[in-house]
Amino acid sequence: MDWKLLATTFGAIFVAELGDKTQLATLSLSTGKVNRLSVFLGSASALVCTSLLAVLAGEVISRYVPPQYLRRGAGAIFIVLGLLYLFRKA
C-alpha cells in the first residue's frame, strides 16, 4: 500500500468535494425526517462507484496515452475551466 498516494488522493478528493453539488444534494436529501443512515450509505456508495469507474477508465486510457500527457491534459482542462468560471459574466 502506497500510504503517501492514499493520503494525497484523500486530501485532493476531500477538498474538491467540499461544497460540490454532490455534497449539497446529500445535504438536501438529509433534511427533514428521513433516515440519515440511508442517505449516507446511498451517497457514499455512489461516490465509491463513480471513483471505481474513474480508476478503471484511467487504467484503460493509460494503456494508450502516456501518464504525463494525461496529467498535463487534466491540468490544462482545470486551468481552462477555472479561467472560464473566473471571467464569465454573471
CA distances to 19, 36, 49, 64 from 10, rounded to whole Å, are: 16, 23, 16, 26
Q: Mean of the pLDDT values across residues 62-77? A: 92
Domain around 76 = 3-87
Is 90 exceeded by the pLDDT of residue 28?
yes
How confident is the prediction for the chain on average, in pLDDT? 91
Q: What percentage of residues in the chain have a pLDDT greater than 70?
A: 99
Is 70 exceeded by the pLDDT of residue 32?
yes
Residue 90: predicted pLDDT: 64
In the chain, how many domains are there? 1
Q: Residue 40 in contact with residue 23, Cβ under 8 Å?
A: no
